[in-house]
Structure 1
Amino acid sequence: MWSAITRQGCALTSRHRNSCKMMMKRQVLLLTLLGFVTVWMLQTGQLNWIMKPFEERTCFINDSRPKHTNVAFLKTHKTGSSTMLNILFRFAERHNLTVALPKGAQFAYPNLFTSDLVDPHTKPPNIITNHMRFNKKELEKLMPPDTVYITIMREPSAMFESLFDYFYPFCQSMNRVPNKSISEFLDNPFKYYRPHEGDSMFARNCLTFDLGGDKDSFHMDYGARLAAQVEETFSLVMISDYFDESLILLRHLLKWDLEDIVYFKSNMRSEKAKKKMTPELSAKIRAWNSIDAYLFDHFNASLWRQLHAIGLDCVARELQLLDKAQKKLSRTCFGQEMPRLNSGSKIKDSALKPWIPKDVDIVGYELATDLSAERQALCTKFVMPELPYIDAIRKAQSERYKKQHELENA
């Protein structure tokens, strides 16, 4: 726009043509410099070019404490935890942190976590977030003393519906049910459920199991006792149903910037794949998963007490800023305010292709085709599925570990 105005001025005042040409050259140099600065910011993985207009108006900018970087996130099943993994991985990369990764595909789940399961190339860690069955004593051996413990829960009927669809091919207690029928399973669950089978945790109180609890406890007060243990250990229990509100609390707790919590959802099923829940079916699910239901109700109420303590006006303001930032990022990565989704089976790029269980319609992302190399690299990290991202983090950290080891032994 500046160049167009200058050209008009030069045409009108020909005797100043030489000085106009000099002005145009300076403007071109200025625009080129701005371009280089933008590329540099993209290459360093920073989102200030997106966040700057929003960050100045947030509620927490007067807090001068540094960002908290030591985090243990218990990744529970079918609760939106893959999205949190992506957030934590990107935070670790931007701040040059170490993420604890398993030696194999996972931390020996469904066995309890032990610290010897961690790949030595990923020690000592700042962050741990892969699926595990929670074991506080073993995590305390591994993580720094100031580690903040966080987990996430989801409304039990929606969570169980997702579990049933996702793990039906692998969980024997589910696979015995004809036609993948949740209602038939719940009409007579003990006809199909075997509590001691290795994969039975997916069929009953999976959240309780992931927390290290007894999924088959029949004691009346067990849910309350487990909730007290969780409350003692975890500084924040996020609620998937209020994911953005939970992120505001996370940001407040860890003193993170708005750019640290911007996200796109990971590991999603298509809307048509989700079964509609009737009130009767939801009630049956909650009764069958009674410990999970108790935990969810307890920590959902806790979440809203914390939000009220911050102030709902402040929370609403933060949510608005987060929404604006995510729409701006979406326009950058997809060329529109809503991300471009496609069936995972149709995605060709291996870095963007999600893992797809048998007969489950998982969707993935397709970035805009006209992105620069720098923006392509940045946007890819936002939509990269869990398994490719784990491989990328493992490779980067192994290379860093080997270089450090070589320097120490030089």
Structure 2
Amino acid sequence: MTQKNTLPPPEGKHNDILCNHVVYNRTSFRKYMRNDTFYVGILREPYEYFKSVLNYLRPDYIFKKINTSLPVSEYLKDPRKYEPKSPAMSFTNNRLAFEFGCTADVIDSSDAKQIIQFVKSVDSDFGLVIITELFEESIVLLRRYLNWSTKDVIYLDKNIAKNKNTTSFVDPFDRQLYKRWAKVDYALYEYFYRRLRDQIRREGDDFDEELLHFAENRKMASEFCSAGETNKKSNSKLIVYKSKWSDGFERTSSDCDLLRKKEIPFVQDIRFRQYGTRDI
């Protein structure tokens, strides 16, 4: 976040939420966000993230520069031989840690003390780190921490890769090689996986009840929104009754349109509401 890529809030307003994909920088964030800001991040199991990058981005320094039948295995034998010089230019060199503000010198050194210090700094800054493998649990916890309603956190599945087949270029032994390479990512992920489990445990016996309630509401929303034009023509509504965790609410076809909307159009709509124009 810098003055070059950050719009000032409209006159008489202040920043409330930043929800774009951005590399975390403690100093910059505190310059633009209020002192009582609640910080939320997200982590994925590092090797699963690595496979996703291979499948989606297919980095040239792996798939074009390495001419073998198993280029990923060859890359993992000596990643530094193929990696871009700067971690900022790589999506395979401890990228999860980099996104949370880990500096290049810590990534390059893999020094245990520096890694611990980095993880502790993230721990002190972030009230919640969502774990992709425990996504629904994370969202229920987010609702509780921010005192939001169930309606506020219902979501539809989006951006799920249609082709997840990475077996053609990944060897079963690659996972261990990658774990040896992505030391900072694994330190970060394993710490926050354990922390999330502890946070859930502290929520008490009714957390599992709410989790089930949330999953049922998600299913209802998905089924309702899948009807699409039928709901619009009939002005149908999905009515969700009050529960011990949230007031009752209604879903309309307009809500479904918002839930399905992709990031950039959504940001443009919000920008128009804030500034009266999308051309910024």
* 1:156 aligned onto 2:46: yes
Q: 1:180 to 1:195 in 2, by over 3 A?
A: farther
Residue 275 of structure 2 is matched in structure 1 by 398
Distance, in Å, in 1 between the alignment partners of 2:212 and 2:63 is 41
Q: Distance in 2 between matches of 1:396 and 1:183?
A: 49
Q: Secondary structure at the match of 2:42?
A: strand
> Closer, same or farther in 2 for the Cα pair 1:198/1:151, shift >3 Å?
closer
Q: How many positions carry a matched residue from both structures?
A: 253
CA distance in 1, matches of 2:48, 2:219: 27
Alignment counterpart, residue 273 of structure 1, candidates 152, 159, 164: 164
1:304 corresponds, among 197, 201, 209, to 197
1:264 aligns with 2:156: yes
Structure 1 residues 231 and 197, CA gap change in structure 2 (3 angstroms): closer
Matched, 1:333 2:225: yes
* Structure 1 gap segments, 5+ residues each: 1-112, 336-367, 402-410
2:260 is aligned to: 383
Contact 2:39–2:127 (Cα < 8 Å) also in 1: yes
Give me the whole-angstrom Cα distance separating, in 1, the residues matched to 2:116 and 2:194: 14
Match 2:8 to one of 95, 114, 120: 120
Structure 1 stretch 295-304 or stretch 157-166: which is displaced more?
A: 157-166
Query: 1:144 & 1:392 partners in 2: Cα distance?
Result: 24
TM-score calculated relative to the size of structure 2:
0.81
**What secondary structure, in the 3-state scheme, does the structure 2 residue paired with 1:193 have?**
coil
Identity %: 28
CA RMSD for the aligned pairs? 2.5
The one-letter amino acid paired with 2:110 is F
* Matching residue's letter, 1:124: H
**Distance in 2 separating the partners of 1:392 and 1:180:** 45
Contact persistence 1:174–1:203 (CA under 8 A): no
Deviations 1:283-341 (A, max 9, x none): 22211111000111111011101111112x32211111111111111121114xxxxxx
Query: Using the alignment, how far apart are the partners of 2:268 and 2:2 within structure 1?
Result: 21
C-alpha distance in 1 between matches for 2:115 and 2:51: 21
Q: Which residue of 1 aligns with 2:242?
A: none
Higher relative contact order, chain-length normalized (CA < 8 Å, sep 6+): 2
Q: In the TM superposition, what whole-angstrom CA distance separates every residue of 1:347-393 from its partner, at most 9, and x where no partner exists?
A: xxxxxxxxxxxxxxxxxxxxx33231774432111111212222222
Is the CA contact 2:45–2:189 (under 8 Å) kept in the aligned structure 1? yes
Provide structure 2 residue ranges, at least 5 long, that are not aligned to the other structure.
236-251
Match of 2:145, as an amino acid?
Answer: L
TM-score by length of 1: 0.57
What residue in structure 1 maps to residue 99 of structure 2? 210
Computing the radius of gyration from Cα coordinates, the structure with the larger value is 1
Secondary structure of the 1:237 match is strand
Aligned to 1:290: 183
The separation in 1 between residues aligned to 2:210 and 2:87, in whole angstroms, is: 45
CA contact 1:186–1:288 (8 Å) conserved in 2: yes
